[in-house]
Amino acid sequence: MQALVYENPWQMPLRDVQEPEPGDHEVTVEVVAVGICGSDVHGYTGSTGRRTPPLIMGHEFSGVIDRVGRGVTGYQRGDCVTVQPLITCGECENCRVGRYNLCSRRSGIGMNVDGAYAERVRVPAAQLYRMPETLSFTKGAMVEPLAVAMRAANLTPLHLAGSVAVIGAGTIGLLTITALRMKGAGRIVAIDVDEHKLEMAERVGADALVNSRKTDPVEAVRALGGVDAVVEAVGITATAALSVQLPRNGGHVTWIGNSAPEVTINMQQVVTRELTVSGTYGFTHEFGDALEAIARGRIDPTVLVEQTAPLSKGPELFHALATGNANMVKVMLDPTL
């Protein structure tokens, strides 16, 4: 079969690789839709150090079960599924209390186990979620990033109609805006340097838009009356530092951006203004919640999908996204094309 194989930073060619064989409690899934995630683009450049070659990336995906292991029950060939990519032990303290996203022996499909930038992928049956017949494969592939955004919204303390700023209007930032709107946020301020992404932010529910390349975001937020909370969805020093400048005294900052291994912030901002800063990673029950929200029509994440391309276009699309030559929020690959 064909797959995009990450071999070195900036090198992820299309290769012929061996077909995966399902173990007793695994299935193989024929991939129909897989989203290009920003974390994979950063992994492709080698900037985060969180992708180790050789590896087939791809963790936002849906498809059709192709083969079923001998010990698998409840699923059969031809079932349409989306896949929760965090593989956990189920035995450590965090797993036992339901915080399996923090599993001490956590691994991830497409992160350190071969993933879905391929025609087929091997998946533990425990990771499968059956898709309703009415759900498109593109929507199925958007469940994972929506779940990430929903957890960020859940971990951001915000009273009904409270105000919040979201820094970064990429896929996760935009879906976080959507999730915060569902949660009952009042004014939502979107901050980015890209006009196209800010237009998309307005489309998904932002009330105010700030282009931080043109306007001082601190002054802009202050002019709007300030915000109770901030969600940082970029993960670099400039935006992390900005995040602790924006909330009102006693406010909250949620960090979801995960790009730079280290950032520098003004500690005095946090201490003297009694800010709380917390991180959020992955999801727990939010994966099922995200699937239900999409299936019920509460959220349509496909408005963010601006291109669908065959797997063979993957190398050039990754290069274009990594160099900034492609200004698209979400790109889907369809290995069946």
Q: 287 pLDDT band (50/70/90 cuts)? A: very high
* CB neighbour list of residue 262: distance below 8 Å, 6 or more residues apart: none
Strand runs (DSSP E) across 55-211, as ranges?
60-68, 80-83, 86-87, 107-108, 120-124, 128-130, 164-167, 188-192, 208-211
Strand runs (DSSP E) across 46-106, as ranges?
60-68, 80-83, 86-87
Q: How far is CA 161 from CA 157, 185, 186, in A?
A: 12, 5, 4
Distance CA 5, CA 315 (A): 10
pLDDT single digits (tens) 110-155: 999 999 999 999 999 999 999 998 999 999 999 999 999 999 999 9
Residue with token string 């990429």: 170
> Quick one: pLDDT at residue 260?
87
Q: 87 pLDDT band (50/70/90 cuts)? A: very high
Q: Return the bridge partners of 189, or none.
A: 165, 208
C-alpha 264, offset from chain centre: 24
Q: 5 pLDDT band (50/70/90 cuts)? A: very high
Which CATH number, 3.90.180.10, 3.40.640.10, 3.40.50.720, 2.40.30.10, labels domain 2-141+300-334?
A: 3.90.180.10
Mean pLDDT of 238-254: 98
C-alpha 226, offset from chain centre: 27
Domain coordinates in residue numbering, the chain:
2-141+300-334, 148-279
| DSSP structure class, residue 131 | P
- Give the CATH number of domain 148-279: 3.40.50.720
Distance CA 256, CA 228 (A): 17
Token pair recorded at residue 246: 């924006």
Could you tell me the pTM of the whole model?
0.97
> Quick one: pLDDT at residue 50?
82
pLDDT single digits (tens) 200-225: 999 999 999 999 999 999 999 999 99
Distance CA 334, CA 120 (A): 11
C-alpha 222, offset from chain centre: 29
Mean pLDDT of 167-187: 98
Q: How far is CA 57 from CA 3, 234, 288, 303, in A?
A: 9, 20, 23, 24
Distance CA 189, CA 246 (A): 11
> Quick one: pLDDT at residue 49?
79
